Amino acid sequence: MNIKWIISTALLAFSTISHAEPLQPTAEFSTRWIADAYLPRHHTLLSASERFADSSKTFCAAPNEKALSHTRAAWKKTAIAWHAMDAAPAGPILLERTGRKIDFWPTRPDDIEAMIPKGLDERNVAARGLPAAEYLLWGNNDPKAQLAKLKNPERCQYLVAISERIVSDIALLNTGWQNYHAQLGAENPFFRENLLPETFNLMLGALDSQTKRLPKEAKAEAFAEWRSGIGKDSSIAVLNAIEQTLFSPKSGITPLLTQAGKPEIALQVKKAFANAKAAQAAIPAAFNSPAAASARSKYLASIQALKHSIEAGAAEALDLTLGLSESDGD
């Protein structure tokens, strides 16, 4: 076992204190939970990031409008796949602090511009990752000007370096997921005991982040990913990922709630998800416009209702003790 996993064990031992006896998932349930809900999202993210890196290299070899369009599309797929992964993170994502490495936000254009002549520095998380690549591809509200800028070899190679580093950061998780899967199936129950409390805490944190990424104000720059315009797609990716993790047909919490004598809670949480998705769908495509303010407010209210149904409904029914969770940072 490497040192990061030992540190994780020690941290969890001090941070997870139960006031009730929670329902402990079996080894079979826990390993299936990871295999069904997490590994497919990881592989989707890795594949998307590889396509983005390939597109970036192809574009920079011969910069043109069509290649730029393909690279932007590949970036969008990678970003959305990341948000689906980050909506319900676990295990190696936290230990490697992947979110801080590839999704440092708010974007810092001045830091990025300062680093372009020097080349990528992996220690400078503010000048790498998906937000930095988004800035290079779309600029500051001037997407049509970026092709000419990216014809500068130094600038374009910085984009390639960012995309390749994203791939390596995600690929670094391959062994971590294998280790975590094995630990959940091991004789020692420690990781199984902490699986659900940690997962619920992180999901609730992801829902909280929606209020930061889709604020009530209408100023475009206040929103995450305002340059590429995928904020609405990112928010639905978060909802879908959390719902699919909690209610996967093969590994969701429905049988645990039934075992706890509270099968009706599953229906209540599913209804809260449906309400949140309906509110999200009602936000206009130009979600950062003043006209969308009311719809955004309703969506954020539905997120709070969803959080309540998960925390006061499902978590309480399963006797899970929830509290502040360690974020992998932004």
SS (H, E, C) 225-251: CCCCCCHHHHHHHHHHHHHHHHCCCCC
Closest C-alpha among 179, 246, 175, 168 to residue 206: 246
Q: Higher confidence at residue 20 or residue 254?
A: 254
pLDDT for position 204: 96
pTM: 0.89
Tokens at residue 4, please?
């990061």
Neighbouring C-alpha atoms within 13 Å toward the C-beta of 69: 3
Residues near 222 by beta carbon (within 8 Å), at least 6 away in sequence:
215, 288
Within 10 Å of residue 96's Cβ, how many Cβ atoms? 17
Q: Residue 257, SS3?
A: helix
- For 124, the token pair is 């400078």
Position 5 scores a pLDDT of 42
The pLDDT, as a whole number, for residue 216 is 73
Tell me which residue of 121, 123, 129, 319 sits closest to 224, measured CA to CA: 129
Instruction: Give the pLDDT of residue 265.
Output: 97
Domain limits, the chain: 40-87+97-171, 189-317
Give which of 133, 134, 132, 122 is closest to 97, Cα–Cα: 122
Cα gap 287→229, rounded to integer Å: 9
Comparing 14 with 202, which gets the higher pLDDT? 202
Q: Show the beta-strand stretches assigned E in the chain.
A: none
Q: Taking a C-beta distance cutoff of 8 angstroms, is the pair 51, 76 a contact?
A: no
pLDDT higher than 90, residue 80: yes
Whole-Å CA distances, 146 to 112, 119, 142, 159, 261: 15, 19, 7, 12, 58
Percentage helix, strand, coil for the chain under 3-state DSSP, each rounded to 5? 70, 0, 30
Where do we find the tokens 């937000």?
131
Binned at pLDDT 50, 70 and 90, residue 156 comes out as very high
Please provide the DSSP assignment of 116-163 as one string: TTT---TT-GGGSHHHHHHHHHHTTT-GGGHHHHHTSHHHHHHHHHHH
Placement of tokens 């400078």 in the chain: 124
Measured CA to CA, the distance from residue 108 to residue 134 in angstroms comes to 11
Reported as a single tens digit per residue, the pLDDT across 308-317 is: 999 999 999 9
Query: Which region among 124-138, 204-218, 291-305 has the lowest average model confidence (pLDDT)?
Result: 204-218
Instruction: Return the structure tokens found at 324.
Output: 């502040």
pLDDT band at residue 329, thresholds of 50, 70 and 90?
A: very low
Report the length, in residues, of the chain. Answer: 330
Distances (CA, A) of 94 to 98, 127, 151, 200: 7, 21, 37, 14
Classify 155 as helix, strand or coil. helix
